[in-house]
């Protein structure tokens, strides 16, 4: 009854049942998502998909954010979901290392643009889709992730289907079928991290969840117990799981509030080390004076980001060695620090050899300790208890808006940028999402 209860909970949670703090947090999530999606709109992988769209003669139904092109609702969900994860700068549910907006927001905006839906409808669908996927993530994490599944995609497809089903006004049986169709399309291998295929995962989860809801709307059947069945999602893909977490405290406990935003353009497990290396860089101005920086971290950091010699900017996002180096040298870890040229810069390469990560099983994922030793033997230490961007040390509204402006600079003009920020913060008062879309979709402007 796990799947059925989840569907019942989602369909019976009305707008009035959602706390205001959850609604406000969802608005921030959508603003953050829009920024990272627009920011990566001209990445080569997006160009490849748009070229394929032309080859396939996709119908131009809805928008590709940051671009003048349009695509059908499935293809646009794929592209907008993928672009939002390209920079690895999107939101993160730290408990499960899940990036919840990527699979859900593209579907909400595609359907809202096509059917002229309101901001409240978008927010309700988004919140419930995110809530569902994060609860499913809680139920199968960490064994599912340890097997090698990319949980953003595998659990995200359920969030996408829930959001789409709500906006398409599916009934309970149709929604059960939609989750079954979605669950059989759950995919994403962690082997793909560091390649174009990693951001492809949340895009495909968005597309697959939407397809599942559209098929269910037509009467396409599936299992009604995809989560709990003997050969269903949890039993097949997670050796250890607790499906009670899917529906526990529904309506009183909101996983959506645990969604954190990144100040740096890489995996969130690296953020404590970035904070520490930036702080140390302010204490020792000359890199030549540094003998080594020992960084003690949670085991996940090396498991996910242990590449000692990255060769591309994308690989640099999965290297604590590169990341520690650029954080110390540049005092930042934005997308600029993860360009190919920066990774291959002799100055960066020389300094990354001074980064010495050490694992401590007792450390939390948003915690680290750094010890800088100078060439003459002096030691400077810096401890990060909660990284910037964590739930305990969150980005402020001012920081989020600044991040948005920096991401869309050179793609959207400044006037449009401020309008988008305002409208997304007031999304629940927007009568038709098409009031917002034109501001988010234009070709490049001068930087």
Sign of the CA dihedral 69, 71, 77, 79? negative
- Model confidence over 382-440: pLDDT tens digits? 999 999 999 899 999 999 999 999 999 999 999 999 999 999 999 999 999 999 999 99
- Model confidence over 70-97: pLDDT tens digits? 999 999 999 999 999 999 999 999 899 9
Which residue is associated with the tokens 């808006």?
Answer: 401
DSSP state of 67: S
Mean pLDDT (whole number) for 149-159: 98
- Model confidence over 351-369: pLDDT tens digits? 999 999 999 999 998 899 9
Helix axes 397-408, 414-425, angle to 10 degrees: 140
Q: Percent of the chain scored above 70 by pLDDT?
A: 99
Side-chain half-sphere CA neighbours of 399 within 13 A? 11
Nearest Cα to 108, choosing from 67, 152, 161, 187?
Answer: 161
pLDDT value of residue 267: 85
pLDDT value of residue 66: 97
Q: Is 241 left (phi over 0), alpha (psi -120 to 50) or beta?
A: beta
Q: Three-class SS of residue 383?
A: strand
Which residue is associated with the tokens 């009183």?
Answer: 252
Q: How far apart are CA 235 and CA 392, in angstroms?
A: 34
- How sure is the predictor about 445, in pLDDT bands with cuts at 50, 70 and 90? low
Q: How far apart are CA 41 and CA 199, in angstroms?
A: 13
Asked if residues 41 and 66 have their Cβ atoms less than 8 Å apart, the reply is yes
| pTM to 2 decimal places | 0.91
Q: How far apart are CA 51 and CA 68, in angstroms?
A: 14
pLDDT value of residue 341: 97
- Model confidence over 310-346: pLDDT tens digits? 999 989 999 999 999 999 999 999 999 999 999 999 9
Nearest Cα to 65, choosing from 76, 50, 51, 53?
Answer: 76
Q: Which phi and psi angles does 206 have, rounded to 5°? A: -60, -50
Mean pLDDT (whole number) for 127-140: 98
- Model confidence over 35-49: pLDDT tens digits? 999 999 999 999 999
Consecutive H or E run containing 380 = strand 379-384
- Model confidence over 397-407: pLDDT tens digits? 999 999 999 99
- Model confidence over 196-250: pLDDT tens digits? 999 999 999 999 999 999 999 999 999 999 999 999 999 999 999 999 999 999 9
Asked if residues 353 and 320 have their Cβ atoms less than 8 Å apart, the reply is no
pLDDT value of residue 75: 98
Q: How far apart are CA 51 and CA 441, in angstroms?
A: 18
Mean pLDDT (whole number) for 124-131: 99
pLDDT value of residue 215: 99
* Cβ neighbours for 224, distance < 8 A, ≥ 6 positions apart: 3, 4, 173, 176, 177, 180
Domains of the chain: 2-261+409-440 (1.10.4100.10), 268-384 (3.30.1330.120)
Nearest Cα to 100, choosing from 32, 52, 147?
Answer: 32
Other C-beta atoms closer than 10 Å to the C-beta of 209 total 35
Q: For the chain, what is the mean pLDDT? A: 96
* Buried-state track 156-167, b at ≥16 Cβ within 10 A, e below 16: bbbbbbbbbbbb
**Cα–Cα–Cα angle for 231, 235, 236, rounded to 5 degrees:** 70
- How sure is the predictor about 446, in pLDDT bands with cuts at 50, 70 and 90? very low
Inform me whether the pLDDT recorded for 447 exceeds 80: no
Asked if residues 157 and 129 have their Cβ atoms less than 8 Å apart, the reply is no
Q: How far apart are CA 24 and CA 86, in angstroms?
A: 25
């Amino acid at each position: 009854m796990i799947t059925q209860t989840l569907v019942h909970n989602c369909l019976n949670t009305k707008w009035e049942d959602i706390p205001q703090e959850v609604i406000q947090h969802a608005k921030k999530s959508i603003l953050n998502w829009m920024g990272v999606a627009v920011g990566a709109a001209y990445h080569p992988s997006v160009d490849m998909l748009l070229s394929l769209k032309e080859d396939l003669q996709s119908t131009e139904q809805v928008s590709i954010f940051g671009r003048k092109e349009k695509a059908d609702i499935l293809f646009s969900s794929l592209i907008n979901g993928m672009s939002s994860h390209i920079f690895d700068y999107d939101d993160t549910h730290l408990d499960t290392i899940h990036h919840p907006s990527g699979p859900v927001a593209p579907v909400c905006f595609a359907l809202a643009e096509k059917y002229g839906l309101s901001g409240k409808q978008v927010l309700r669908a988004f919140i419930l889709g995110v809530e569902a996927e994060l609860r499913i993530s809680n139920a199968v994490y960490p064994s599912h992730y340890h097997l090698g599944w990319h949980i953003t995609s595998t659990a995200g497809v359920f969030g996408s289907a829930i959001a789409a089903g709500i906006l398409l006004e599916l009934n309970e049986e149709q929604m059960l079928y939609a989750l079954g169709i979605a669950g059989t399309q759950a995919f994403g291998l962690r082997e793909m991290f560091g390649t174009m295929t990693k951001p492809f995962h949340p895009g495909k989860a968005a597309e697959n969840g939407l397809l599942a809801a559209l098929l269910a709307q037509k009467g396409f059947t599936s299992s009604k117990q995809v989560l709990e069945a003997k050969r269903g999602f949890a039993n097949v893909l997670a050796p250890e799981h607790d499906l009670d977490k899917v529906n526990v405290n529904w309506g009183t406990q909101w996983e959506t509030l645990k969604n954190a935003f990144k100040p740096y353009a890489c995996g969130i497990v690296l953020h404590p080390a970035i904070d520490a290396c930036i702080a140390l860089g302010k204490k020792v101005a000359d890199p030549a004076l540094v003998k080594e920086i020992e960084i003690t971290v949670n085991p996940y950091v090396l498991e996910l980001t242990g590449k000692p010699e990255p060769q591309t900017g994308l690989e640099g996002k999965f290297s604590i060695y590169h990341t520690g180096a650029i954080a110390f040298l540049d005092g930042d870890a934005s997308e600029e620090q993860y360009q190919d040229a920066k990774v291959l810069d002799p100055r960066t390469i020389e300094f990354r050899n001074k980064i010495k990560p050490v694992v401590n099983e007792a450390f939390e994922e948003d915690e680290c300790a750094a010890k800088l030793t100078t060439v003459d033997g002096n030691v400077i230490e810096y401890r990060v208890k909660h990284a910037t961007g964590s739930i305990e040390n969150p980005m402020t509204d001012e920081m989020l808006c600044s991040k948005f402006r920096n991401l869309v600079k050179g793609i959207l003009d400044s006037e449009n940028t401020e309008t988008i920020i305002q409208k997304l913060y007031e999304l629940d008062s927007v009568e038709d999402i098409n009031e917002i879309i034109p501001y988010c979709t234009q070709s490049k402007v001068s930087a």
